[in-house]
Amino acid sequence: MTLDPRVDIGHVHLKVADLDRALGFWRDVLGFDEQARLGDQAAFVSAGGYHHHIGLNTWESQGGSPPPPGTTGLYHVAVRFPDRTTLAQAVRRVLEAGIPLDGASDHGVSEAIYLRDPDGNGVELYRDRPREEWPLTPDGSQVAMFTRPLDLRALLAET
């Protein structure tokens, strides 16, 4: 069985310890627009006026700590940018805010930057290359993704 190709991921909810601190990252650094807020319990942010791409909530986590290493849970949430320039602009804001990067990779199909939000949630900021540039296996039947270091200086030169 194959899903209809129009299916996509609509939004993700993240448990956070402090709503204002989380908004300081998702809204103020990354640039998502705050669409709605429920006191100190939840906020909903998006790009382009959508009701929400990311829900931030303290319903089960107010004042809490990140899960310890070696436990299950969300590995990361990925935020896809429309092009290399907008990705570079976001990465520059992250660096200017003093947020450390966990990594930067070229996957052939995409360029990705990895970091953590203030609650320790993994965040990937990335852009897809056009499909016609994706690497394929020698017989052309499958995508041949790889992981190589991304030239961060070249990316930041886009801004």
Alpha carbons 86 and 73: distance in angstroms, whole number: 29
Mapped onto helix, strand or coil, the DSSP state of residue 14 is strand
Alpha carbons 80 and 126: distance in angstroms, whole number: 5
Domains observed in the chain: 1-63 (3.10.180.10), 75-159 (3.10.180.10)
Q: Which residue has the tokens 């290359």?
A: 129
Q: What is the pLDDT of residue 89?
A: 97
pLDDT digits (tens, 9 = 90+) for 29-40: 999 999 999 999
Q: What is the pLDDT of residue 77?
A: 96
Low-confidence ranges of the chain (pLDDT < 70): none
Alpha carbons 59 and 9: distance in angstroms, whole number: 22
Q: What is the pLDDT of residue 8?
A: 87
- Burial level of 4, CB count in 10 A (0-12/13-18/19+)? exposed
DSSP 66: P
Alpha carbons 29 and 12: distance in angstroms, whole number: 18
The first and second tokens of residue 112, run together, are 């990705």
Mapped onto helix, strand or coil, the DSSP state of residue 90 is helix
Alpha carbons 95 and 131: distance in angstroms, whole number: 29
Q: What is the pLDDT of residue 9?
A: 86
